[in-house]
Amino acid sequence: MSASSIRRLVSKNLLKFYGLSGHRSGLQVISRRCSTEKENEAVHSEDESEFFENEDDLKKSVLDKALAFVPTHGWSQKAISKGAEELGYPGVAHGMFTRGGVDLALHFCDACNQTLAARMKTDADAVLDAPAARKPVRSVIGDAVQSRLTMIHPYIEQWPQALGLLVMPQHAPESVALLQNLVDDIWFYAGDKSIDVDWYTKRLTLASVYVSTELYMTQDRSPGFADTWQFMESRIDNLSTAGEDFTRCSPMQSYTKYC
Amino acid sequence: MPMARQSMLLWMARPARQTCRTMSTTPAGVDVRRRAMLDRIIRVDHAGELAADRIYAGQMAVLGKTATGPVIKEMWEQEKKHLAKFESLLPQYRARPSALIPFWNIAGFALGAGTALLGKQAAMACTVAVEEIIGDHYNSQIRELLEDNPELHKELLETIREFRDDELGHLETGMQNEAEQAPFYKTLTEVIKIGCRGAVWVAERV
Ligand SMILES: [Fe+2]
Ligand SMILES: [Fe+2]
C-alpha cells in the first residue's frame, strides 16, 4: 500500500467519522486532491495545506481559519463553524470541537507559544554565531513577554472572554500546561541552566509576571499599551530586587539544541 | 520558601516537556512518550549522581585522613565527573530537575558519613550496596533506550554505559577493600539497597 493510498483512506474515514461522507463540498476537496496527487507529486507538495493526513492537522487548519472570525463572533462555536466553512468543510465543527470556544482559545495560545519559541530560537542561534550581539538576560525575558503579549492585540477586545474560558476549572490543566510551556521556552532560550530549586522559582515567577501583565493589558487603554509595558518592566524589576536575582543565568553558551 | 513549594507542586503535575514540537516527524504519541521517558531518566540519574557525590563526600569527611582516604577520593573524583555530565544534560534535554535536590544532598551525605563512622569496612559495604543498585538501574535504562531507538539515543547510551562501568568498578573496589567484613554486612547492605530502590522510585517521579 502506497503512502498516498493510506492517506486517502485516512482522510475518507475521517470524513465518515464526522458524518461528512455525503457532504458534497467536503468530498470534492478530497477527490480533487486524490486525483492530482496520483498524477503529479509536485502539485501535491505545492498544495499541501488542503490535504490532511490526520485529524490533528484538519483541526488545526479549521481553528487557524476560525481566528479571523473571533473579532466578530468571539471565542465561540460560531467562529469555529465559520472557519470550517471557509476551509470547505462546513458542518465539521460540531463533531470535532465539542467544547466550543475554549478549543479555539487553547489553540491560539499554543500557536502563539510556538511562534514565540521559533522566534527566540532564531535569535538564540544568531547569538551563537555572533556572541557580541548578546542581549542581557533581563531584556531577552522582557522582550519575549512583550512580544508574546503583543500577539493578543488583534483580539484584545475579546481577550477577557478567552481568559474566562481558560481559567474554568475543567480547562485549567490544559491552560496551565500551556503557560508552563511558555515560561519554560522563554527560560530555555534565555540560556537558563539552573538545576535546583531555582529551576522552579524562575518558572513560577516568570509565569506570575506574564499573567499579571496579561490581566493588566486587558484593562489598558493607553496608546500603544504604553502603561502595560511600564507595568511589566516594574514587575520584572521588583522580582530582580526581591532578594534573589531573577535573571541570574549562565550565558548563552548553555543554549543547547536537542531535536 | 512558599513560592518554591507551590511552584514545585505545579510543575510536578505537568506532563513532560515536548521539545521541538513543530519539527518533529514522529507521531505525536510516540514523541510524548519518548519525552516523558527521557525526562524521567535524566532527572533520576542526576539526582542519583548528586547523592553519590554526597555519599563519597560524607565518607571523606570521616575517613579522608585515614589510609582508605585515597581509595575513596579516587571514586569520588569519578562521581564528580558523572554529576557534572548530568548537570549539563538536564538543560540540554530540558528535563525537570528533581524537586527533592536539597533532600538527596543531605541524605547522601548522611548515608556516607553514617556508614563511615561504623568503620572503613562499613563504608565499603555501603559503596557495594549503592553501586549494585545503581549498576542495575543503569542497565535497565540501557535496555529501555535500546528498545526505544538505539540510533536516536546513541550519545546518552554511551554516557550511561560508561558510567555503569565506573559504578561496577566502584563495587569491585568496595569488595577488594573488605566490605564483606563489615559488621552485619548482609543486613547493612540489604537496608541500604532497599533505601536506594526507594530513592530511585521517588526521584523518577518527584
Ligand atoms: Fe556515579
Ligand atoms: Fe558510583
The whole-number pLDDT of residue B182 equals 83
What would the pLDDT profile of B96-122 be if each residue is shown by its tens digit?
999 888 889 888 998 998 888 888 999
Residue A173 lies in a domain: yes
Q: Are A163 and A218 in contact (CB under 8 A)?
A: yes
- Cβ proximity of B146 and B88 under 8 Å: no
Same domain? For A64 and A123 the reply is no
Neighbours of ion ligand 2 (CB under 5 A): B 52, 167, 170
A216-228 per-position pLDDT tens digit: 999 999 999 999 9
Best B92, B100, B149 residue to mutate vs chain A (most A CBs within 10 Å): B92
pLDDT band at A23 (very low <50, low <70, confident <90, very high): very low
pLDDT of residue B194: 87
The helix (run of H) or strand (run of E) holding residue A231 is helix A226-241
How far apart, in whole angstroms, are the C-alpha atoms of residue A107 and residue A155?
Answer: 14
Tell me how many domains chain A contains.
2
Res B57: pLDDT: 93
Mean pLDDT of A25-41: 39
Contact A225, A153 (CB under 8 A): yes
Give yes or no: residues A91 and A110 share one domain. no
Residues A78, A139: one domain?
no
pLDDT digits (tens, 9 = 90+) for A43-57: 333 344 466 777 788
Grid coordinates representing A70 are 473571533
| DSSP string for residues in A6-56 | HHHHHHHHHHHHTT-TT-HHHHHHHHHHHHHHHH-HHHHHHTGGG--SSHH
**Would you state the pLDDT for residue B17?**
59
The segments of chain B whose pLDDT lies below 50 read 1, 18-25
List of chain A residues whose C-beta atoms are within 8 Å of the C-beta of residue B46: 195
| Buried-state track B80-105, b at ≥16 Cβ within 10 A, e below 16 | eebbebbbebbbbbbbbbbbbbebbb
Q: How far is the CA of A99 from the centre of ligand 2 (A)?
A: 52
Q: What is the CATH number of the domain that holds A29?
A: 1.10.357
- Residues in A whose CB is inside 8 Å of some CB of B read 56, 114, 118, 173, 176-177, 180-181, 184, 188, 192-197, 199-201, 203-205, 254, 256, 258-259
Residue A38 forms part of a structural domain: no
Identity of the residue in A193, A205, A258 whose CB atom sits nearest the CB atom of B19: A258
Taking the CA of residue A222 and the nearest CA in chain B, the distance in Å comes to: 32
Ligand number with the minimum distance to the CA of B56:
2
- A154 and A137 in a single domain? The answer is yes
The x, y and z cell numbers of residue B17, run together, are 516537556
A144 and A67 both lie in a single domain: no
Last residue of a domain, one of A83, A98, A113: A98
DSSP designation for B191: H
Do A192 and A129 belong to one domain? yes
Of the candidates B50, B86, B192, which has an alpha carbon nearest to the alpha carbon of residue B133? Answer: B192
| Residue A32 in this model has a pLDDT that exceeds 60 | no
**Phi and psi at residue A90, in whole multiples of 5°?**
-65, 145
Contact A249, A199 (CB under 8 A): no
Range of the domain at A127: 3-33+101-257
Q: Which residue has the higher pLDDT, A94 or B37?
A: B37
A18 found inside a domain: yes
Dihedral sign for Cα A166, A142, A247, B97, please: positive
Give domain status of residue A248, yes or no. yes
Query: What is the per-residue pLDDT across A172-212, written as a single tens digit (0 to 9) for each?
Result: 888 888 999 999 999 999 888 888 888 888 888 899 899 99
Residue environment code for B28-55, b if the CB has 16+ CB neighbours within 10 A, otherwise e: eeebbebbebbbbbbbbbbbbbbbbbbb
Decide which of A81, A98, A115 is a domain's last residue.
A98
A-B Cβ pairs (cutoff 8 Å, strict)? 66
Q: Is residue A251 part of a domain?
A: yes
Half-sphere exposure of A35 (CA within 13 A, CB side): 5
Find out whether B181 and B121 touch, Cβ atoms under 8 Å: yes
Domain shared by A54 and A138, yes or no: no
Q: For residue A194, give the chain B residue with the closest CA.
A: B91
A256 and B87: CB-CB below 8 Å? no
Among the partner residues B1, B6, B46, nearest to A195 by beta-carbon distance: B46
Domains of chain B: 32-205 (1.20.1260)
- Above 80 in pLDDT, residue A240? no
The amino acid occupying position A190 is A
pTM metric for this prediction: 0.72
- Residue A135 and residue A17 share a domain: yes
Q: pLDDT value at position B16?
A: 58
Whether residues A163 and A57 fall in one domain: no
Same domain? For A63 and A160 the reply is no
Q: How far is the CA of B39 from the centre of ligand 1 (A)?
A: 19
Q: Do the domain assignments include residue A241?
A: yes
For residue range B183-193, what is the model confidence (pLDDT) as tens digits?
A: 888 888 888 88
Please answer yes or no on whether A203 and B20 come within 8 Å at the CB atom: no
Q: What is the pLDDT of residue B140?
A: 94
Residue A206 lies inside a defined structural domain of this protein: yes
Q: Which range has highest mean pLDDT (A25-34, A153-162, B1-10, B182-191)?
A: A153-162
- A135 and A200 housed in the same domain: yes
Q: Pick from A55, A80, A98: which residue ends a domain?
A: A98
Same domain, A70 and A183: no
- ∠B126-B131-B135 over CA atoms, to 5°? 160
**Looking at the domain assignment, is residue A39 inside a domain?**
no
Q: What is the ipTM of this complex?
A: 0.72
> In the predicted model, is pLDDT for residue A59 greater than 60?
yes
Centroid of chain to Cα B179: 21
Is B131 assigned a ligand-binding role in the annotation? Answer: yes
Residue B90, SS3 per DSSP: helix
